[in-house]
Amino acid sequence: MNNCTPIFTAKTKMAEIITDYSLLTIIDRLNIKLGFGDASIDEICRRHNLSTDLFLMICRVYAFGGFAPDISNLTKGDIPKLIGYLQRTHKYWIESFFPNLHSNIHMMFESCDERSAKILNKFYDDYDDEIKKHLDYEENTVFPYIISLGEGKKDVANKFRIKDFEENHSNIEEKLHDLKNIVIKYLPESASQQSRINVLNEIFKIENDLCKHSVIENKILIPLVSKYE
């Protein structure tokens, strides 16, 4: 745990928890607008019909490394909010994170030799395809199933179970780690230093977000849905 990170509770003022970029993204992905004055976390959550327990759990996943969520206080009513959060996270990746990374990679190509640029471009394109397949599976198979389950459509369980998602949940962080190593270790020295740093900064941000996203899916979403199957 970072000693500089505040230990927040339901009574903590919402404004006080926005101490870094990742906690700011949580506010946005839960459709909570800035401008909440001195209202507490609990007050803001009640205004947005959002479980304070769920909100604090997501924040703690991002704020504290190694945090182990306990879903015992979460209910079936928290599932739609959680799905909405995950869907807006995917939207942010598609519209911001990955386009920014792609743009910085192409800028880096300008200072690379043709062979290195070709290899790196192929690697990134393959990774981009894997990301799209991963998100497509969640958006078009996993999330609709969970929403249908929440609506009481029991027959959907015959076609899919959350354990199917758990067993086939691909690790999209591994290739990103490989891409980072290529940029750090294997591109020739002639490649622009600043371009490399720009690419790595984007990778570090995405890597952290992917890691936290996986914790939320594996430690909150899957156990919560299993509880109500």
Give CA separation, 31 vs 20, 42, 66, in Å: 18, 15, 26
Q: Among residues 118, 126, 105, 208, which one has the least CA distance to residue 175?
A: 126
Tens digit of pLDDT per residue, the chain (229 long)? 444 445 789 999 999 988 888 889 999 999 999 999 999 999 999 999 999 999 999 999 998 888 999 999 999 999 999 999 999 999 999 999 999 999 999 899 888 888 888 888 888 888 889 899 999 999 999 999 998 887 777 655 557 788 888 776 667 788 888 899 999 998 888 889 999 999 999 999 999 999 999 999 999 999 999 988 7
- The total number of residues written for the chain in this structure: 229
What's residue 205's pLDDT?
A: 92
What is the pLDDT at residue 135?
93
CB 68 within 8 A of CB 219: yes
pLDDT at 4: 43
- Tell the residue number behind the tokens 């949580």, with chain if given: 26
pLDDT in tens, 13-37: 999 988 888 889 999 999 999 999 9
pLDDT value of residue 5:
46
Sorted by where each begins, the domain ranges of the chain are 14-68, 74-228
For 158, the token pair is 């015959």
3-state SS class at 13: strand
The amino acid that residue 218 corresponds to is N
The whole-model pTM stands at 0.89
Task: Name which of 58, 88, 99, 79 is nearest 205 in CA terms.
Answer: 99
Predicted confidence at residue 204, as pLDDT, reads 94
CA distances from 16 to 9, 24, 34, 129 (A): 11, 11, 12, 39
